[in-house]
């Protein structure tokens, strides 16, 4: 249901999903019933409800209930059919054939066929479509719809992330969009999809209302109406939750640990906790001479206590990151080299690299130059700033002088990250179940506007990433990505800091929520409120 997409979260990360539930789990026997309204709080307004054009998580949250992909991730992060009933991959791994569900209808009553899928594919790769998601689909050399319920794509080279791309695509209605300029389509404000909810209204900056689609092909959702209320301030949102005007929001660590342990709150809400898809890191600009020595990067990793950062910044609501993957996914390698807090080892490594305090001022020097650098991060994310402050203090203890600069997002990108004009940066990536990391770590991706902005170059990693993209077999893929994680752990081009927890709270009257590795949203259409607990009649 939730579309997975890799995008750097500029502000608060409220997305992502995964396991490890320590909630006050709902118990007791309740009978599923249709009806009621679920009101969800969202920090930002959606920008467009045509997902092909959207880049913000609010838009994806809403349109995720309106549209479908061909396949989807189930609760255990396995791909299963969505609009496609099944699919086959040819023995040479070049062709994928999707067999579509029959009898699916668009929310305006028109039948859904393979022509819609072919049309959607063409929209995504059309140079006139300003979409951020064309790359995956450009790998397709031939797309065809041999009959109304078959869709076939052929790739020039085997492309393992392909299936993930057919999960994150949102199939669009051809009969409403064909021959029109997609950027001017009324569907951006009034979407029509195949999904479990249909659009009702959108008051910009206030609320978006959806109503259950009785003809949904996976069954009518129990909850009749979903309202997204746009509340830009997290404290206000929490007050709205307490006053009963919201049923569902993502809590901050402070709210989760300090403000919701009251009886009154527990009587009315269930809290959930699971690892989110995403991590925060300290990345080094490898063009800078001081960071070119691996021992220096390893020393800094030893000098930083990740545990302390998690306790201080996330109030314990997170886990130590050891690499780019979420600790409870199949691709995660738990056996990579770790960097526990060890300032003595850090000092030793720095001394080996030639950094010594020759003038006794407490700051290390090499060739007469003091070890001093600046960490830049973006404004609007307090967690990153606090992380920076803790790092600053710990590095000072091993003799490194660190400055911290917090810069407004647009300026930060334009003047610092894109031109490679920074020493080190605290940022985060959020991702999905697909392990391909080509765009972030390949040495071909170091140009301006590209994502390997730290200039990481490693021939073996390049080869592994290329191989990983060509390999479908999960066991073989695991081996490839295990080695990739080993190299990153040894090399420390980033100091991987933490994976934060997602901390949603949902009104207690909502039953049927079953936390799973993918989070809680996956079975949203099965959430229900028993008849006697229903609050809203419309």
Partner 1 sequence: MLTYLSKRLLMMLPLLLGITLISFMVIHLAPGEPTDLQTAMNPKASAQLQQRLRTEYGLDKPILVQYGEWVSRLARFDFGNSFSQDRRPVIDKIRERLPITILINVLSIALILVVSIPIGILSATKRNSLFDRLTTIFVFIGFAAPSFWLALLLMDYLGVHLGLLPVAGIKSLGFEYLGWGGKVMDILRHLMLPVFISAFGGLAGFSRYVRSNMLEVVRQDYILTARAKGLSERSVIYKHALRNALLPVITILGLSVPGLIGGSVIFETIFAIPGMGKLFYDGVMMRDYPLIMGILVIGAILTLIGNLLADISYALADPRIRNS
Q: Which residues bind partner 1 (CB under 8 A)?
A: 5-8, 10, 37, 39, 45, 47-48, 53-56, 59, 127, 130-136, 183-184, 188-189, 203-206, 227, 229-233, 235-236, 239-240, 242-243, 245, 408-411, 413-415, 417-418, 439-440, 447, 449-451, 536, 538
CB of 165 to partner 1, least distance (A): 9
Residues whose CB falls within 8 Å of the CB of residue 416, separated by 6 or more in sequence, listed in order: 376, 407, 422, 425
Nearer to partner 1, 102 or 190 (CB): 190
Residues whose CB falls within 8 Å of the CB of residue 50, separated by 6 or more in sequence, listed in order: 63, 172, 182, 185, 187, 188, 191
Nearer to partner 1, 350 or 529 (CB): 529
Burial level of 480, CB count in 10 A (0-12/13-18/19+)? buried
The Cα–Cα gap between 512 and 529 comes to 9
Nearer to partner 1, 154 or 418 (CB): 418
Token pair 């999707």 is at which residue? 98
The Cα–Cα gap between 373 and 404 comes to 9
DSSP 224-240: EEEEEEE---HHHHHHH
CB of 366 to partner 1, least distance (A): 33
The Cα–Cα gap between 126 and 182 comes to 10
The Cα–Cα gap between 331 and 347 comes to 33
Nearer to partner 1, 75 or 535 (CB): 535
CB of 431 to partner 1, least distance (A): 8
The Cα–Cα gap between 496 and 440 comes to 14
CB of 315 to partner 1, least distance (A): 20
Nearer to partner 1, 44 or 215 (CB): 44
CB of 37 to partner 1, least distance (A): 8
Nearer to partner 1, 335 or 450 (CB): 450
Burial level of 261, CB count in 10 A (0-12/13-18/19+)? exposed
Q: Do 253 and 315 contact (CB within 8 A), yes or no?
A: yes
CB of 345 to partner 1, least distance (A): 33
Nearer to partner 1, 298 or 437 (CB): 437
CB of 239 to partner 1, least distance (A): 5
Residues whose CB falls within 8 Å of the CB of residue 320, separated by 6 or more in sequence, listed in order: 306, 307, 310, 338, 496, 497, 498, 499
Helix (H) or strand (E) holding 497: strand 494-502
Nearer to partner 1, 156 or 239 (CB): 239
Strand partners, 405: 376
Q: Do 194 and 64 contact (CB within 8 A), yes or no?
A: no
The Cα–Cα gap between 359 and 363 comes to 8
CB of 166 to partner 1, least distance (A): 14
CB of 474 to partner 1, least distance (A): 21
CB of 500 to partner 1, least distance (A): 18
Reported in sequence order, the residue ranges of 220-379 that DSSP labels E, i.e. its strands, are: 223-230, 248-250, 269-271, 274-275, 279-284, 318-320, 365-366, 369-370, 372-378
Q: Do 84 and 69 contact (CB within 8 A), yes or no?
A: no
Nearer to partner 1, 361 or 415 (CB): 415
Nearer to partner 1, 16 or 399 (CB): 16
CB of 330 to partner 1, least distance (A): 20
The Cα–Cα gap between 378 and 65 comes to 31
Nearer to partner 1, 245 or 397 (CB): 245
Nearest Cα neighbor of 57 from 358, 286, 355, 278 is 278
Nearer to partner 1, 132 or 156 (CB): 132
CB of 268 to partner 1, least distance (A): 12
The Cα–Cα gap between 67 and 53 comes to 14
């Amino acid at each position: 249901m939730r579309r997975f997409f890799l995008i750097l979260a500029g502000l608060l990360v409220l997305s992502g999903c995964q396991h490890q539930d320590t909630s006050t789990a709902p118990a007791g026997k309740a009978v599923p019933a249709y009806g009621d309204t679920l009101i969800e709080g969202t920090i930002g307004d959606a920008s467009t409800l045509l997902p092909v054009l959207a880049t913000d998580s609010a838009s994806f949250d809403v349109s995720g209930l309106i549209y479908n992909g061909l396949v989807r991730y189930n609760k255990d992060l396995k791909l299963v059919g969505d609009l496609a009933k099944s699919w086959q991959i040819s023995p040479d791994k070049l062709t994928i054939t999707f067999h579509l569900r029959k009898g699916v209808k668009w929310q305006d009553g028109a039948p859904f066929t393979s022509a819609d899928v072919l049309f959607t594919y063409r929209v995504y790769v059309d140079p006139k479509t300003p979409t951020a998601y064309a790359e995956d689909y450009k790998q397709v050399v031939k797309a065809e719809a041999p009959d109304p319920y078959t869709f076939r794509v052929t790739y020039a080279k085997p492309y393992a992330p392909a299936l993930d791309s057919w999960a994150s695509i949102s199939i669009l209605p051809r009969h409403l969009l064909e021959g029109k300029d997609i950027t001017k389509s009324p569907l951006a404000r009034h979407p029509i999809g195949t999904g479990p909810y249909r659009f009702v209204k959108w008051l910009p900056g206030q609320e978006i209302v959806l109503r259950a689609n009785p003809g949904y092909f996976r069954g009518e959702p129990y909850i009749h109406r979903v309202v997204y209320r746009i509340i830009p301030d997290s404290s206000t949102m929490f007050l709205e939750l307490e006053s009963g005007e919201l049923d569902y929001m993502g809590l901050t660590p402070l709210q989760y640990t300090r403000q919701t342990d009251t009886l009154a709150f527990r009587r009315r809400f269930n809290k959930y906790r699971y690892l989110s898809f995403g991590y925060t890191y300290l990345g080094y600009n490898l063009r800078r001479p001081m960071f070119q020595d691996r021992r220096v990067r390893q020393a800094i990793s030893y000098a930083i206590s990740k545990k302390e950062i998690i306790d201080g910044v996330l109030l314990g609501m997170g886990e130590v990151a050891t690499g780019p993957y979420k600790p409870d996914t199949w691709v995660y390698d738990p056996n990579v080299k770790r960097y526990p807090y060890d300032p003595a080892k850090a000092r030793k490594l720095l001394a080996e690299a030639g950094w010594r305090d020759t003038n006794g001022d407490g700051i290390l020097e090499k060739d007469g130059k003091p070890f001093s650098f600046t960490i830049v991060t973006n404004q609007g994310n307090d967690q990153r700033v606090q992380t920076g402050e803790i790092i600053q203090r710990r590095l000072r203890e091993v003799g490194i002088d660190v400055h911290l600069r917090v810069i407004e997002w647009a300026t930060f990108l334009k003047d610092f990250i894109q031109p490679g004009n920074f020493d080190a940066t605290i940022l985060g990536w959020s991702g999905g179940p697909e392990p391909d990391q080509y765009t972030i770590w390949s040495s071909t991706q170091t140009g301006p506007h590209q994502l390997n902005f730290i200039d990481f170059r490693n021939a073996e990693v390049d080869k592994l990433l290329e191989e990983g993209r060509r390999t479908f077999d999960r066991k073989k893929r695991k081996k490839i990505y295990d080695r990739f994680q080993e190299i990153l752990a040894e090399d420390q081009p980033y100091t991987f800091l933490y994976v934060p927890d997602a901390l949603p709270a949902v009104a207690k009257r909502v039953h049927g929520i079953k936390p799973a590795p993918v989070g809680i949203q996956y079975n949203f259409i099965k959430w229900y409120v028993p008849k006697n607990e229903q609050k809203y009649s419309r």
